[in-house]
Structure formats: structure tokens, C-alpha cells
Amino acid sequence: MTAKQIRNISYAHKIKRHIHKYGWLHLMILPGILYYLLFKYLPMYGIVIAFSDYRATDGFWGIIHSEFVGFKNFSLFFESIYFRRLVGNTIWISFVKMLFGFPAPIILALLMNEIKNAYFKRTIQTITYLPHFLSWIVLAALLKTMFSTDNGPIYSVILKLTGIEIPSVIMQNSTFVPFLVLSDIYKGVGWGTIIYLAAISGVDEGLYDAALIDGANRFQRIMHITVPSIMEIISIQLILRVGGLMNENFDQIFNLYSPGVYDVADVLETFVYRAGIQDSKYSFASAVGLFQSLTGLILVFATNKIANKLGSNGLW
């Protein structure tokens, strides 16, 4: 028996002992693994239609046997009149959301950590976290009703107080993107706050006591102890956020936008839906979706590399 075979046997025994010792933990993560295998990795075989001329009438086997056209679908997208608008809108909306939405849960978590009244703290946390459980279908319907110019409560109050008829914020190009940003913060700030509060809870209380003895005020303790202590979590969240720069929230935009605001609201994901589901251009839509996914993957690697270069721990 060679040394390599001996090492392989030893490694196999270690894996066997590890599984035997932590069997229940492996069993707990099994549903998550199956989910990603069935709904994330297995459907990847359909990527091949981005390089072919697939038709719905070709059926399942047409995915493999349809005519190969190479990068024709990608060229059609890059040369189309929609390319610059879609990429520009996707990057701009994602950037504005990240600019205002990323710091929001951090700031809220820092403020909530300073609240000493436990009952008041739990109440605020519950109020901010509740919108996370609402789907965008429900929340979009509520927002459309609230801001409707047809007897909407907010519109009616402004009209009675000022006598000024304001246009719908959802139907105007100038106000639609800010409305997206604010509604996204409203829905997601509570979930992000819980993540940062959990990280803050692990900060050594002795650091605060030492800083207090040295005369540091509350703001100085936050900036020099709390924030640096959770910087690793902030870095990981930022990498994930930048990685999703090209994957804008489809549910939010799809349920709020209309043809009147396509110039500022139409993004890659909504275009893929219209091209693939409504127009049945499956190969073309797959090419656009693949371009979007590859760009997001590159952004993840680039951001992780930059984070490591700056001395912060990245994803790997």
C-alpha cells in the first residue's frame, strides 16, 4: 500500500468520524443543501439556450438539440436600443439604494443599542421588523392605495391642507426612484438592524467601561468601540450588497412600475421577464440573464479582493 493510499484511507476515516460525531448538524443543513441543488444548481442546464435558437415548441429536448447560434443573442442585446438604458437604470437604482439603504440599518442598530428601556427597545424593533414579513405584492398594493391621486389618504390630506393637487409620485419619472429607495428602506431596515444588533451584543462590555473611565462620551464610544467591533460584519454585508448591484429587486419594481416610468424604472430583471415570459424570446432572455449573473459574480470577486486588500476580512 502506497503512502498516498494510506493518506486517503486516513482522510476517509476522519470524515466518517466527523459525520458520526456531528450527524444531527449535517441532517439539519440537508434541507438547505437540497434546496440549492434542486432550485439553483439543477436548473443551470438551461443556460445552454442562451447560445442557441430555442423555441417553446421544441419542448424539453429542444434545450439540448436546438440550433447553436453562439453569441448571437448577446450581440443582439448589446446592440439593442435598450442596452444602455437597462444597464444604466439597474446600476443607478442599485447604487442609490445602497448609498442610502446600506447605512440605514447600521445607524438604527447603533441608536437602538443606546436605548436602556428594554420594553421601548423591543417595541421599536418589532415595529421596524414587521414590514419585512410583507411580500412586495401586498406592500406595493398598500403603497399604491396610500399614494393614489384618486382619493388616496395621503393625497387627500395634502389637498385639504394646502389646496394643491400634486401628481402621483409613483407615476412620475422624477419621483419614482426616490420612492423606490424610501420604500426599500422601510421594508428592509428592520431585518438589517437585527443582524447588526446581534454583532453589537458580542462586543466586550469592558471596552465601554474602560472608555468611560478615560472620559469618552457616548458618541466617541460608538465611533471608536462599537463601529470598529462590527466592521467585519459591515464588510461582509457590503460585499454581498455590491454583488447584488446588477440584481435589483425585481419584486419591488415589477409591482410598482408602469410603462410611464420605463425610462427610469426598467431594469435588467424586468426586461428579462417581458422578453422571456411575455414575448416568449427564451434564448434572448436567457442571454440577458446570464450577462446579468456573470456581471454580479465579477462584482463579488472584485469587492472581496478590495476588502482583503484594505485589511478587512472578506467572504474568503
Structural domain tally of the chain? 1
Asked if residue 6 belongs to a domain, the reply is no
240: containing domain: 71-309
Residues 6+ apart with CB under 8 A from 253: 93, 180, 265, 267, 269, 270
Domain-located, residue 107: yes
Can you tell me the distance from the alpha carbon of 3 to that of 1, in angstroms, rounded to the nearest whole number? 7
- For residue 93 the three cell numbers come to 437604482
Q: Is residue 271, in this structure, part of any structural domain at all?
A: yes
pTM over 0.95: no
Please give the average per-residue pLDDT across 197-202, as a whole number.
89
- For 287, the grid coordinates are 442571454
Indicate whether 12 belongs to any domain. no
pLDDT band at 20 (very low <50, low <70, confident <90, very high): confident
Express each pLDDT in 7-19 by its tens digit. Answer: 655 666 777 787 7
Q: What is the CATH classification number for the domain harbouring 83?
A: 1.10.3720.10
Whether 37 maps to a domain, the answer reads no
Domain-located, residue 45: no
- Give the pLDDT score at 218: 87
Q: How far is CA 114 from CA 86, 105, 272, 280, in A?
A: 42, 14, 45, 54
Q: Do the beta carbons of residue 124 and residue 189 sit within 8 Å?
A: no
Per residue in 276-300, pLDDT (tens digit) is 888 888 899 999 988 988 888 888 8
Q: Is residue 196 part of a domain?
A: yes
Confidence band, pLDDT 50/70/90 cuts, at residue 214: confident
16 domain residue, yes or no? no
